Every structure is written in structure tokens, then in C-alpha cells.
Amino acid sequence: MTPLLAPSVSAQIRGRVSEIETLPTIPTIFLPLLKLLNLPLEQVKVDDVVKLVSYDNTIAAQCLRMASSPLFGLAKAPESIKSAVISLGLRRVQTILLTCSMGRGFPIKDWTIDPTVFWKHSLGCAMVCRKLSDKLAIADGEKAYMAGLLHDIGILVNCMVFPREFAAAMAHAFRELITLEEAELATMGFCHCDTGLALAQNWHLAEDMIQAIAHHHRPECSDAAQPLVALVHLSDLLCRMRNLGYGYYERQRVDMTHDPAWAILAKDYRALDQVDLVRFTFELDEAVEEISEVVGMIFGATRTVI
């Protein structure tokens, strides 16, 4: 993220981002769901989650199908929304619902980035965040999943309200084989971290989510929630290294164990030293096909022109 944006640029971003909330495509349940996800778990009621899932029949059906995926822990699809909530747990069902809602809420007319590629990266990052949090015994794996899923929402903003500028940035990234963040800063003067921050603030997301969205490329710049931001950063890097990036090869040298995010996590979680990165990347490779199936199931409709 750029350290300081010119006031005129910040105002332009905020103005464009405000247009997104008026889109008729965003499901009615989306913003109430975000509020529910920000509550402490002990304040969330089963019936409230069931009511949200059941509100939209299409989303409800997608949630039940998604719950049967091995990526979400059940070998057999639950027979009802309530049984899914009981079997999977409140937070797991909420994050599945969030995933389905994201697919319905952003059917961008002319994607600058291949939508299948984008959703594979986002879902892949969410899965890696949860898997890494499990290995490190981080308490809230679903929060990690949510941070991974939402970390690149600024790319959606750029596709929707800065389409020409973002197209130039993508072309620059493909041509120079540099990171998308570098290409955006070079051509636009801001990046998806900045636009994602504006949208996250508009949506009144929890501060740790805002930090992960705003600083996932530079976790050392985060002034709060550093372990979560570092977790998202490493997960994002792993996905981009294993062909779950933005559809092109990034010419950069990556040493995970010497990345600032590694040191941030290692300070609080000694189990990080026991993580076998080679084995972990193989596990990610094995999950790619399953991730692709889930993306096709949930996000396939994003190609539809509205």
C-alpha cells in the first residue's frame, strides 16, 4: 500500500467506491452477514445464521453443495440448513455463506482479470490461511479464511470503478512480469490495497479484516493485527508461487522463511518452525482441482453479463 495518497486521489477512490453499495446485484443478506461475522461468536445465534442462509434459495442451495466439499470438512452434504450449521459450526457456515454471496454480488460486466483466475486465487488464499492457522494452532481458523477470501476485494473495486486504469495496470504486469501491486502503483498511482481499504471501511468491517486488506503485501506496515496480516501475506505468496495467482508468471525471487511476515508469525507461533513448506506446497497442489470445482460451482455465474 502506498504510504500516503494525495487527498485528491483518496477522495476519488472514496467517491468511486461509494457507487458500489448502490449496485442492485449485491445480495440482501450480504451486509447483514458482514455485521454478524464481526460479532463475537458467543453473541451469534444459530437461528440468525439459518435465517440468513435460507433467505435466498439459490445461495442456500450453493451453501449446501459447498458444505459437502472435502475442503469444508463433511463427506456428505447435510440435508438441511440447520443440520449444516450444527455439523459445520456457526463460523464455518458463515464463511461458506460469505463465499457464495461474494460470487453473487460481483457479476462484473467486463472483467479486466479472468474471473475464474481471480476466484481461484481468492478461494485458494482463504483455504491456505485456514490450513496454516490449523498448523499453527491459531484459535480462529474461520477468521483467517475470511481474511484470505477478502484480501483482494480491491481488485474487484478496480474492475468495477477503475476499469480503464486497471486494464493498463494489468497489461503492464503481464508485459513486465512484475507483481500486480507494482504495476498498479506504476500506472495508477495507487493499488488494490488502497481501494480495498476504502471498501472495507465503507462496509464497516472489523479492524483486523481492514488491516489484512490494506497491508497484505506489506504486513510490517500494519499497526494492528500483524499476525493475521502476516498469515494472509504468506498464504497469498504461496498461492501465487503455485500457479494460483493472477494468470501470469511473476518474475520475482521468493524466500518465505526470510520474508518479514515469517518473522512476525514466528514471534507469536513457535510451531511455524515445524511447518514443512515443501510438503505444504504439495498439499496445496493436490487441493487445486478441488478449489477449481468449488469455483466453478459457486462463481461460474460471474461471467454472466447483466
DSSP letter string, 49-105: HHHHHHHSHHHHHHHHHHHTSGGGT-SS--SSHHHHHHHH-HHHHHHHHHHHHHHHH
What average pLDDT score do residues 24-52 get?
84
Q: How many CB atoms sit inside 10 A of residue 192's CB?
A: 27
Which of 159-173, 214-228, 240-254, 289-303 has the lowest average pLDDT? 289-303
Average pLDDT, the chain: 86
- Contacts of residue 248, defined as CB under 8 A and 6 or more positions apart, other chains included, come to 173, 174, 177
| 198-209 as b/e: b if 16+ CB within 10 A | bbbeebebbebb
Q: What percentage of the chain exceeds 90 in pLDDT?
A: 42
Whole-angstrom distance, CA of residue 140 vs CA of residue 225 = 13
Work out the pLDDT band at 118, boundaries 50, 70, 90: very high
Residue 280 CA to its chain's centroid (Å): 20
Cβ-contact 182, 226 below 8 angstroms:
no
User: Using the 8-state DSSP alphabet, how is residue 25 labeled?
Assistant: T
Dihedrals φ, ψ of 57, to 5°? Answer: -60, -40
Q: What's the confidence (pLDDT) of residue 56?
A: 83
pTM of the model: 0.89
3-class DSSP state of 245 = coil
Which of 19-28, 69-78, 111-120, 243-252 has the lowest average pLDDT? 19-28
Cα dist. 76→47, 66, 79, 294 in Å?
A: 22, 10, 9, 15
| 238-265 as b/e: b if 16+ CB within 10 A | bbbebebbbeeebeeeeeeeebebbebb
Cβ-contact 302, 107 below 8 angstroms:
yes
Whole-angstrom distance, CA of residue 85 vs CA of residue 138 = 22
Instruction: Look at residue 215 and tell me whether its pLDDT is greater than 50.
Output: yes
- Locate all alpha helices (DSSP H) within the chain, ordered by sequence: 7-18, 30-37, 46-55, 57-67, 81-88, 90-105, 115-135, 141-150, 153-161, 163-176, 180-187, 192-202, 207-215, 226-241, 260-268, 277-299
Whole-angstrom distance, CA of residue 94 vs CA of residue 65 = 14
> So where are the chain's domains?
13-300
Assigned CATH topology for domain 13-300? Hypothetical protein af1432 (1.10.3210)
What average pLDDT score do residues 122-151 get?
92
Q: What's the confidence (pLDDT) of residue 24?
A: 53
What average pLDDT score do residues 144-155 get?
95
DSSP letter string, 204-219: T--HHHHHHHHHTT-G
Instruction: Look at residue 150 and tell me whether its pLDDT is greater than 50.
Output: yes
Instruction: Look at residue 305 and tell me whether its pLDDT is greater than 60.
Output: no
Q: What is the pLDDT of residues 165-183, one digit of tens each?
A: 999 999 999 999 999 999 9
From 130, 142, 151, select the one nearest 283 (Cα to Cα): 130
